[in-house]
Structures are given as C-alpha cells and as structure tokens.
Amino acid sequence: MSNVHRLLERLDKVRVNGNSRWLACCPAHPDKSPSLSIKDAGDKTLVHCFAGCPAEDIMAAVGLTMKDLMPDDGGEWRRAHRGRRPLPRDVLETLGGEALLIAIAAERVAKGARLEGANLERVWIAARRFRAAAREVGYEC
C-alpha cells in the first residue's frame, strides 16, 4: 500500500480534489468540513491544513510519522535512473513539490514556529535537491 493510501484510509470525509489530490477532515483539530489538502507527489505525500495545523500534529493524530510522508531523500529515484539524465518534466515536478514544502515551512517560520527534527531535515533535503538541479543546468550556488 502506498504512503498516501495509508494516510487516506485513516481520514474522514475523504474526497478527490483533482489528479492525485484529495481533501479530508483534519484529524488534528475539530473539523466538520474538509480543511486538509493531501497530494501524492510520487516519492512523497504533501499535507496542508488550511486551519494551520502542523503536519506533525496531523500525522500524530492518525498514528503515522513525518517519515511516512517523505520516506526517502530521492536516492531511490536516482538509483532507478542510474546512467540516464532525468527528464526535465521529472525535475520540474520534483522541484514543484519541494518549492511547496519550502513555502509552507517559510510561512510557519514567519509566524514564529521553529523547524526541528524531521521537519528541519526535510527542508535540508529540499535545499539539496534545488542545489543538485541548479548544478545540473550549469548554475552553481
């Protein structure tokens, strides 16, 4: 079973909201109508509560961890594509997910939250992916 489906089966009022996207009631706060957005981004699952619940609280409320959302730093993708250059659309899709993750983290930091543990590590992974993509196109940062 995929990571996103393990999460979806633990949520209430789940409904499809596009290709590989769902809305559901957030388990981290009293929610009568869906305020939790879920996206299957291939190697990771993105969650966002429009009421502002942190992803850690959402995952804890359903008995999962942040590692269940983002189990790998991308190494499995690189191993599967060894010896081949990644397709530009694959790079852009990955960077789009990373940009969303960084934007959500930046918003939380701007509101006074601290990034710690798995969240901080995940932001570092996103930064490394951006640097790797920049190097791939000849831009050193």
Give residue limits of the domains in the chain: 1-71, 72-141
Residues of the chain with pLDDT under 70: 1-2, 71-87, 140-141
pTM of the model: 0.53
* Beta-bridge partners for 37: 23, 48
* Residue 101 confidence (pLDDT): 85
The helix/strand/coil state of 14 is strand
* Residue 22 confidence (pLDDT): 94
Contacts of 134 (CB under 8 A, 6+ apart): 140, 141
Q: CA-CA distance, 133 to 91, in Å (whole number)?
A: 7
Strands 45-49 and 36-40: antiparallel
* Residue 75 confidence (pLDDT): 53
* Residue 77 confidence (pLDDT): 47
